[in-house]
Amino acid sequence: MINPNQVAKEILSSDYFKNARKNAQIYSKDINKIEEILLQVDYKLSNIKFDENEKKLVEFANNMKKLYNLVKSYYQEEYKCIDIESIEWAIVAINYFISPVDFIPDSMGNVGYIDDMIVMYFVLSNIQSELDKFLIWEKNKEKIFAL
């Protein structure tokens, strides 16, 4: 029987995850690279084929969009009330998601997103309070523009 905790441990200790972390630190200092990876996220999210009944995949896509918006707002200098370490964690999840090579290949269909989900939830566990503050800011910004 597969032990989910062991699988998560293997993914988070894999070279794929280590590369995503290393690259996030490098990319966080390069606005051109940030723009490039955000375009890749947008493209990849628009091409995921899933049924609305696949709740975990829908939740994953929604969380990825939240991280996308956080990073985009930070680098557009709209939202700066966050430390760079939290931004780097968001970039880790984004970078892992867009990587064509990872622990479980995305070519395996929706099963291929299991490792991306594990990385996402690990990142969210590290920055959830910061992300929540951003989401409140984002909602308030929308209200202001709606007036």
Look at 32 and 3; give whichever has higher pLDDT.
Answer: 32
Residue count (the chain): 147
Once rounded to an integer, what is the mean pLDDT over residues 92-96? 97
Those residues with Cβ within 8 angstroms of residue 145's Cβ, 6 or more apart along the chain or in another chain: none
The model's pTM:
0.92
* pLDDT, tens digit, 9 for 90 and up, residues 42-77: 999 998 877 777 888 899 999 999 999 999 999 999
Look at 122 and 56; give whichever has higher pLDDT.
Answer: 122
Q: In whole angstroms, what is the distance from residue 123 CA to residue 94 CA?
A: 10
Residue 144's pLDDT is 64
Mean pLDDT taken over the chain = 91
* pLDDT, tens digit, 9 for 90 and up, residues 10-22: 999 999 999 999 9
Place of tokens 């696949």: 54
Q: In whole angstroms, what is the distance from residue 27 CA to residue 115 CA?
A: 21
What distances in angstroms separate CA 109 from CA 42, 52, 112, one per listed residue? 18, 15, 6
Contact 103, 97 (CB under 8 A): no
What distances in angstroms separate CA 9 from CA 97, 98, 134, one per listed residue? 17, 21, 29
Question: Number of H helices and number of E strands within the chain?
Answer: 6, 0
